[in-house]
Amino acid sequence: MTDTVTLSLADLTARVETIFRRAGMNAAQTRALTSVIVAGERDACKSHGIYRIEGALRTVKAGKVNPLAEPVLDAGEGTAIVRVDAKGGFANPAFELGLPVLAARARELGLAALVINDCTHFSALWPEVEAVTAQGLSAMVMCPSYATVAPTGGNKPLLGTNPFAFGWPRADAPPYVFDFATSVAARGEIELHRRAGKPLPEGWAIDADGNPTTDPEAALEGAMLPFGGHKGAAIGTMIELLAAIMIGDLTSPEVLDYLGTTTLAPFHGELILAFDPARFAAGRPGNPLARAEVLFEAIVGQGARLPSQRRFAARKISESQGVTLTAAEIAGLDRLTAQGLDAVA
């Protein structure tokens, strides 16, 4: 007897797709959402794996995401801005629809933006980053979140944990990819400390009066802090400006007002920039992809890690050996398959 079950990625994909289809999601939403959830599980990034299925279903059940949405493309011919209206569905199928047009435009102009509007953003930004790098392009991606982070010197939640992500294509290796919250910690990490009855590390949060706290309860009633002090707060603010206000979508405080909770997936927009290194480097000495390898070797050569290295190592194993889930996780999938939206609050 074993307490674990190993599934191939294809089998896991089929299981997750079944859950979403039975819960009433259309083919476009199901396929794209399943893809990022399986990618999370594949990369041993458990916080973005099957654990997220319930959150997606809760958001559908709450009526805060449209499970039948068909995203609509506005190619923005003659401009550097490609838009996809997600029509209130998840961001993922909207991104898939826009990606080929974004890539073509970036190759044509050297630089282009994909704006996704009216979407429920789900999971990490690295799936988008990796998809752009797979086109031989560099990517910068950002989106807001819910207001849970106080600006440095302030005392109230205002900014989101606003992730900032970037990727650079590599010929013979997985891409260079980073994707991080602009808060010190993710909100989920504070919740985990609360459940475990453990104090928070210093510098993660302030209480409702704006004083530093290591008490998770007080932190959840107060605010999280940006990473790197005023510099992280500035980047978080930049993301509100570019990836919410500039693209005509909700800011983090507006998202929280709209949802009234941080337990549903956030509704807002997303900004993806794509750069064509071949166009930017044209006429200049050196091949940019080859020169980047020199930089990466210098980083790794002094004992530092490239971001996402751990994820890519896990991926390699999962692709040949499948992913191993606990009996409890399998039971969870069974329950969600059988009960659909009735399984979630």
**Residues tagged active-site:** 47-48, 189
Footprint of a copy of itself on residues 81-100 (CB under 8 A)?
81
**Contacts with a copy of itself, 239-278, as mask; x by CB under 8 A:** -xxx--xxxxx-x-x-------------------x-x-x-
Q: Could you say which of 230, 257, 326, 342 contacts a copy of itself (CB under 8 A)?
A: 230
Residue length, the chain?
A: 345
CA distances to 42, 43, 84, 99, 167 from 25, in Å: 23, 25, 19, 22, 30
97 Cβ contact partners less than 8 Å away, ≥ 6 residues apart? 71, 73, 84
Shortest approach of a copy of itself to residue 334 CB, angstroms? Answer: 38
Footprint of a copy of itself on residues 161-220 (CB under 8 A)?
164, 166, 168, 176, 178, 180, 182, 210
Shortest approach of a copy of itself to residue 326 CB, angstroms? Answer: 29
Q: DSSP character for 226?
A: B
CA dihedral 218, 202, 121, 106 (to 10 degrees): 160
Footprint of a copy of itself on residues 129-168 (CB under 8 A)?
138, 140, 150-156, 158, 164, 166, 168
In whole angstroms, give the CA distance from residue 55 to residue 91: 15
Q: Could you say which of 46, 198, 231, 310 contacts a copy of itself (CB under 8 A)?
A: 231
Which range in 12-20, 212-220, 284-292, 320-328 contacts a copy of itself by CB under 8 A?
284-292
Shortest approach of a copy of itself to residue 329 CB, angstroms? Answer: 29
Q: Tell me the CB-side half-sphere exposure of residue 255, using CA atoms within 13 A.
A: 34
Q: In the complex with a copy of itself, which residue's Cβ is closer, 135 or 182?
A: 182
* 228 CB neighbour count, 10 Å cutoff: 13
Which range in 42-50, 126-134, 285-293, 332-340 contacts a copy of itself by CB under 8 A?
285-293
Shortest approach of a copy of itself to residue 198 CB, angstroms? Answer: 21
Shortest approach of a copy of itself to residue 289 CB, angstroms? Answer: 9
Instruction: Say if residues 33 and 312 touch (Cβ distance below 8 Å).
Output: no
Task: Say how many Å lie between the first and final Cα of the chain, rounded.
Answer: 33
Instruction: Say if residues 129 and 116 touch (Cβ distance below 8 Å).
Output: no
Q: Residue 318, Cα to own-chain centre: how many angstroms?
A: 20
Q: In the complex with a copy of itself, which residue's Cβ is closer, 228 or 260?
A: 228
Residue 77 lies near a copy of itself (rule: CB under 8 A): no
Which range in 44-52, 119-127, 228-236, 311-319 contacts a copy of itself by CB under 8 A?
228-236
In whole angstroms, give the CA distance from residue 243 to residue 128: 15
